[in-house]
Amino acid sequence: MQDGVAVQLDYTLTVDGEVVDSSKGRSPLSYVQGRGQLIPGLEKQLVGLKAGDTRSITVAPEEGYGPVDPKAFVEVSRAQLPPDIAPEVGQALRGTGPDGQPFRATIFKVGSELVTLDLNHPLAGKTLFFDVTVVDVVPGTG
């Protein structure tokens, strides 16, 4: 497959031995090759495949969601959290930042006064393992 073709892709994403996402039971993922709609490490390794091809692809953090950024950990007062939340380590939060932009965070540490939030993508720093099958490739559509 080459840049500019419309692709339908069945995939299963495994991280640390656990399936974290899959197209099984739903429609294939549709995208246009070369438009940056997929993480770089996956898109690069799909070049040259054709409909019916199956491949196992490993994507390093640098070509996936990036390394963990230590600057993306922030401390907030417990009072800044919604009152209906009892913070627990690993809990996912969604909110709107001071700039009005949506964000997601994972609670990294809970103290008596402060809570440390991890604003990194949940898959940052992780090696990603994809099992993919190219369902369809339509040339000249992108």
Q: What is the C-alpha separation between 124 and 142, in angstroms, rounded?
A: 29
Structural domains in the chain (count): 2
Shared-domain flag, residues 10 and 50: yes
Q: Which residue has 């990194």 as its token pair?
A: 120
51-102 per-position pLDDT tens digit:
999 999 999 999 999 999 999 999 999 988 888 889 999 999 988 877 888 8
pTM of the model: 0.82
Shared-domain flag, residues 54 and 74: no
User: Which structural domain range is residue 11 located in?
Assistant: 6-66+124-138
User: Which CATH number fits the domain that encloses residue 84?
Assistant: 2.40.10.330
Shared-domain flag, residues 25 and 54: yes
Phi-psi region of 34 (alpha: psi -120 to 50; beta: other; left: phi over 0): left
Tell whether the torsion through CA atoms of 92, 96, 98 and 101 is positive or negative: positive
Q: Is residue 128 part of a domain?
A: yes
Q: Is residue 93 part of a domain?
A: yes
> Cα-flanking dihedrals φ and ψ of residue 42, to 5°?
-75, -50
User: Which CATH number fits the domain that encloses residue 18?
Assistant: 3.10.50.40
12-54 per-position pLDDT tens digit:
999 999 999 999 999 999 999 999 999 999 999 999 999 999 9
DSSP character string of 43-83: HHHHTT--TT-EEEEEE-GGGTT----GGGEEEEEGGGS-T
